[in-house]
Amino acid sequence: MALTRDVVETETRSYVTGLRCRLCRATYPEQPVAICEECFGPLEVEYDYEALARVVSRERIVARPPTMWRYWELLPLTAPPRVGIETGYTPLIPAPRLGEALGLKNLYIKNDGVCHPTLSFKDRVVAISLSKACEFGFETVGCASTGNLANSVAANAARAGLRAYIFIPETLEQAKILGTQIYGARVIAVRGTYDDVNRLCSEIVYTLNWGLVNVNLRPFYSEGSKTVGFEIAEQLGWRAPDAVVVPMAGGSLLTKIHKAFAELQRLGLIPPARPRLFGAQARGCNPIVAAVKEGREEIRPVKPQTIAHSLAIGDPADGYFAARAIRQSGGWAEDATDAEILAGIRLLAETEGIFTETAGGVTVAVARKLAEQGYLSPEETVVLAITGNGLKTMDALATAPPISIAPKITELERVLRDFSEGGSHS
Amino acid sequence: MSVTVRIPQPLRRFTENRDVIELSAGTVGEALEQLERQYPGIAERLRESDGQLRRFVNIYVDGEDIRFLNGLATELRDGMEVSIIPAIAGGGAL
């Protein structure tokens, strides 16, 4: 522990003490394994918080470049990051016009739709897990993906010179397939749902010496999501918001944002607070929402049927923990129909100039419901986690063709009269 | 009914490293009991003391999650494949 301030600034050292089973508490050394041998429970990275409390401070964090790595002590690397060096620190945007529409006066958007390099929050978890893959010596990496993760693994693996195999459900949007193949990744479409893909991948890691980011590298991968929470708190001026609305697929992002606020409090970086976590799912794939609403611990899997493909995980791996985090934090969960999702996408675009993907539409639609139902109060500081970019899911949206005119000012004037009569032009 | 049971890697230390076991059982629950008879100790890795499947163990019959079927009472026919797959999860708050 004899570290001087200067040493820590120039070389990464790890504050990880090992892996621990979330269920039976069995401990393991740091290794590319995600499940407990004893009970199959999920393994979680553990840190030496006493040592962390001595070295981490606001001043040191803010002096670093604006990327997710400004919080590196709270991430599980033992060597400097090799992948995704520029990732993270996306804008936290005040959203007064959307807030007015929803009846929320202190509303913010955490916009990971502009994350580097592939425009979704998955760039964070891939940055950490592929850096970790390099540490473990994997030459082939991959993932099971609903799309955004596929794009990110493919792009980041290309830059790192790693071979990538990407397993997707064959129903995926064309834009996400193209946005994966372009990086030279080997894309394998599996006949079945995301859950079938995930199941195949869970067998692959026992057969092939590959680092699958959301399978055997999952304990490290999921820690990357904490940086969303760290950044929200820092960008609010070192405080937790009153509430965060988070889209849920596997449920990991919500649990890790919850963990991020808890860690910042534990290390004295933000004042004590009790941020409420709110989970958002599509009506056509809402196993976590259903568990929260019915007050049961067990997650009953569903067969997904929704336009929000990036949230279409019918058997969410972290569903149990996400539901628990929601309950413990005093939050709630809601779902949105496909029509409400599309309306949510449009509302965010028209009020704040942010074009989000279908998952973002879910988040906006659910925030509207939560505000209407009184779960979110008008004066509270509320953050919506927007996790992906609308340019990737354009197939979900049908738009009317634009008005066509001859290049004459008289024609334009006629159109402008029509607009004002229709009341849609302001 | 003669069925095959696919054993995940973490359980193969119980099955002399075999990944596929042939056995005879009428339901998924019976298949697990058969497994335990052949490979003592394996069942307690899969089931809680009350007999329920552990939270992070999933079982599939011909590719379908038994939670969409009849759970441990799901009936088996000749030639069906039972897969035991650990669910994968990433953890949670402090």
Residue A398 CB coordination number (10 Å): 7
Closest CB to B89 among A203, A256, A317: A317
Question: Would you call A321 and B89 a contact, using CB atoms and an 8 Å cutoff?
Answer: yes
Question: Would you call B65 and A214 a contact, using CB atoms and an 8 Å cutoff?
Answer: no
- Tokens in use for A144? 């099971």
Check whether A38 has a pLDDT greater than 70. yes
Q: What percent of chain A has pLDDT over 90?
A: 80
**What number of C-beta contacts closer than 8 Å exist between A and B?**
115
Residue ranges and CATH numbers for the domains of chain A are: 5-74 (no CATH), 92-118+225-396 (3.40.50.1100), 122-221 (3.40.50.1100)
- pLDDT value at position B49? 87
User: CA-nearest residue of chain B to A258?
Assistant: B93
> Could you tell me which of B68, B38, B54 has the C-alpha nearest to residue A38?
B54
Enumerate residue ranges in chain B where pLDDT < 70: 89-94
Average pLDDT, chain A: 92
ipTM of the complex: 0.87
**Cis-peptide into A117, omega within 30 deg:** yes
Distance CA A133, CA A221 (A): 10
Which are the contacts of A45, defined by CB distance < 8 A and separation ≥ 6?
A: A16, A19, A30, A76, A219, A220, A223, B91
Residue A106 CB coordination number (10 Å): 18
Going edge to edge, which strands form the sheet with B57-61?
B20-24, B2-6, B81-86, B57-61, B64-65
User: CA-nearest residue of chain B to A205?
Assistant: B9
Residues of A whose CB is below 8 A from B41:
none
Check whether A27 has a pLDDT greater than 90. yes
Task: Sketch the domain layout of chain B as residue ranges.
Answer: 2-86
CATH superfamily of B2-86: Beta-grasp domain (3.10.20.30)
Residues of A whose CB is below 8 A from B56:
23, 35, 39-42
Note whether B19 and A206 are within 8 A (CB): no
pLDDT in tens, A202-253: 888 888 999 999 999 999 999 999 999 999 999 999 999 999 999 999 999 9
Judge if pTM exceeds 0.90.
Answer: yes
Three-state DSSP state, B64: strand
Look at chain B and count its residues: 94
CA torsion sign for A102, A343, A148, A182 is: negative
Check whether A37 has a pLDDT greater than 90. no
